Amino acid sequence: MPQRALSDTKESAKLGNVAQATSTQPRTLSIDIGGSGCKALVLDAEGQPITERVRIKTPDTPTPAVVLEVLGRLAEKSGEFERVSCGFPGVVIDGVILTAVNLHPDWVGVNLAQELENLTGKPARVANDADIQGMAVVEGKGVEMVLTLGTGMGSALFTDGRLVPNLELGHHPFRKNKTYEDCLGEAAMKEKGLKWWRKRLLEAIDLLAAIFNYRVLYIGGGNAKKIEMELPKNVKIVPNVAGLLGGIYLWKH
């Protein structure tokens, strides 16, 4: 797993600007597999987006075969690229999927990096989705933590920009025999309502602050926009596109 490298292009890439035709190679097709949508865009050699983001709904029964078919369509829609990065919602080691709680059990054991190479004919690297999101947003200083709120709850931890891969805090006990993901995932938000969900989120933030003593906590993912309440000063909301922009860092080592 790469050490974070900060670049001057990071700030403008963060804004989601699409670079002009002067973009450099190698271009990276950056993919984010999510519980509700699969997204992709192409980054130039500096990590600047050079295509608009494309999104295809994640199939209702997201087995490897049907998701790979979706990824093939995303690749086709995205134009040309020389290599592939992919964020996956589960534990990933050396390109191989070890868990896929919110997708389908058939993913366990799949060498997704190899599958993407077969699919696109280009070298591919895969990592946990929250880890990739974090790579795009951390500053590389002290302890920085990332949570992603979507179908599941992703988590990532960095010390001086160095990632602790596959943290999986979401499945750790949080309250009343429920995990963080049981309380802060999409299903709980829908079932219990926003007021309840926001209260649990503030409790989780307090708890995590006391455990990890992070300098900054970043919160991303599709449901981060539902927060709308005051947060501690060292907690920052980050745009969900970071899950795609972070793909460049899989190639920085």
Q: Which residues bind ligand BGC (CB under 6 A)?
A: 89-91, 99, 101-102, 128-130, 148, 150, 152-154, 168, 170, 181
CB of 23 vs ligand BGC, minimal distance in Å: 29
- Cα-trace Rg, the chain: 17
For ligand BGC, which is the closer residue by CB, 87 or 161?
Answer: 87
Q: What is the 3-state secondary structure (H, E, C) of 6-34?
A: CCCHHHHHHCCCCCCCCCCCCCEEEEEEC
Distance CA 124, CA 226 (A): 33
Of residues 12 and 111, the one with the C-beta less far from ligand BGC: 111
When the beta carbons of 9 and 133 are compared against ligand BGC, the nearer one is: 133
CA distance to 20, 57, 195, per residue, from 43 (Å)? 12, 22, 38
Distance in Å, CB of 144 to ligand BGC, minimum? 16
DSSP-based three-state secondary structure for 73: helix
Report how far residue 129's alpha carbon sits from residue 221's, in angstroms, rounded to the nearest whole number: 10
Nearest CB to ligand BGC, comparing residues 1 and 18: 1
Find the residue with minimal CB distance to ligand BGC: 152
Q: Residue 87's closest CA among 137, 142, 124?
A: 124
Closest approach of Cβ 34 to ligand BGC, in Å? 7
Nearest approach in angstroms of CB 249 to ligand BGC is 16
